[in-house]
Amino acid sequence: MQSMFRLTALSCAFITAAGCSSQQIDNISKSVKDIGRDYGMPVLCGVGVVAGGAAGYALKGKDGILPGVAVGGTLGCIAGYVWQSRLQELDRIAKEENLKITTEKLTVASAAVVTAVPEQAGLVTQIEDTGMFATGSDQLTPNGQRAVAKLAQMYAKPAATDKQAAAKEAQARRLLIVGHSDAVGNADFNQKLSERRAKTVGKVMLQAGIPASAIYYQGAGASRPIADNSDPLLRGQNRRVEIVELANEQALVMRAQAEAGNTRYLHYGTSTAAKPRQATTTAHASSKPAASKPTTAQRTPATASSTASATTSTSSTSTSTSTAKAVAVVRPQVDFAGTPVANYSWTMAQNIKPKQSGFTLISSAYAAQMPMSSCEADRPRNAGEVLSMVNDQPLQRRATKDYLPGYNNRVWANLVNGHLVTVSPVSILRENAMVDRQPILQLVEDYKQPTQHKPRTMKAVANTYEGESEVLYRVFASDAQASISCMDIVFSKGNAEVSQGALFYAAGSDAFVASYKPIPATK
């Protein structure tokens, strides 16, 4: 309660001074999130007073303060009631069903110009899957059915108090249900299974009376981890169902786009392999080391995935820690003059400033965390489309072929220890820095030498993660026998150049890394 009194004092001080910086308002908003469950309505009434008064003063000076306070206070009280009632209901269901539920409040960032999306854009609820689904199944267990039915009944209730407002809210509101898995097993299988599970939850929402036109579902598979997949004791946290309650369809589109390449999910990798073991030598790899069987940690992503799939084609809910037998992979060995991954500190993306996607997340669990490990600890990520419960068709979005300047299918290349390494086409769209065309990798050994080798081509898969001014372009070789395992390249969004880059490869039974900063080929 003391926190609420401090907020009231701040509100009064603001009204008296007729001025308050946006940073101060943000600080006030963040300071009240933890008491939303018990005091959500009075807290957001106060925040509405502050924000409304600030807006009124900005528009009309001192004469605009009182009208702004009145409007802001009213809207804040309404939002506070919705927030408080939802959190109280979720808390009750969590206790009754012994569920672990976490929430994030979605508000539109002040920098975002989105007139069709209200400031209070929605609420994100994560329910950890502790027995909601049987292993490998998309059918709810009896306990899961009971818990989801309670959640559906809660979401079926109008948040607004009067009938007219409730009807308007119900018509505009959208629910997005996202299934998530851990990284155990085949990535494609997990993505499809998580999609079917999300649809199963959507069907329960339908039974509760929520119209199909208001419900969307998505299978994110293992592409958005919130815990370490290489730790059997922690990876279970990634098995979860996410329910996002959004103000309208424009907010739904914003949410889907913001999550597609969200750097927060790079904090953890999607590989279940342990960290690479300490290399037996710190010397550079020989140009032709003896071929040997790679360890689990040093196989390429494609190999690790297929091996895990052969051993456990079950699903995201499997908690088995059995070890798959290593598959002997004979790779053409190339000396890129790198250093052992075990001795390498990967920090290249730590300085990327996370993109302001339009949403400000208010949650103690959220932090703008940048990746803590390289592509060597990751695998290609694939989240399914956002689909409608009406007809299973993808959410309609504005199609675009507008590229980031300098990334319109150009060829990028450079020498690494005398070998020419090419990645092309580099195809990055302006919208959310999405990959338009997947690249291929090409290697020419001993480039510029009279006896140079013929070009060696390797298929690849790229994922992108967008910051304010840079893009992390993460490339994985698809072929288990490729000379290159993966690449991390940081592209500038403004001047088409690389600020940092690394190439990962295997040499014998060790994983190595070499600097790689490609430049665009001249036309």
In this prediction, residues 105-115 reach a mean pLDDT of 70
CB proximity list for 103: less than 8 A, separation 6 or greater: 87, 90, 123, 124, 125, 126, 363
- pLDDT tens digits, residue range 304-338? 333 333 333 334 444 333 333 444 445 568 999 99
199, 203, 208, 213: CA torsion to nearest 10 = 70
pLDDT tens per residue, range 240-272 = 999 999 999 999 998 998 898 888 888 888 988
Residue 80 has pLDDT above 70, yes or no: no
Q: How far apart are CA 398 and CA 383, in angstroms?
A: 19
Q: Contact, 50 vs 72, CB < 8 A? A: yes
Q: What gap in Å lies between CA 320 and CA 343, rounded to an integer?
A: 30
Of residues 460 and 104, the one with the higher pLDDT is: 460
Q: Between these two residues, 199 and 362, which has the higher pLDDT value?
A: 199
Q: Domain locations in the chain? A: 1-91, 296-345+400-520
What SS3 state is found at 296? helix
Most confident by average pLDDT, 73-77, 165-169, 231-235: 231-235
Q: Which of 247, 165, 170 is nearest to 210 (CA)?
A: 170
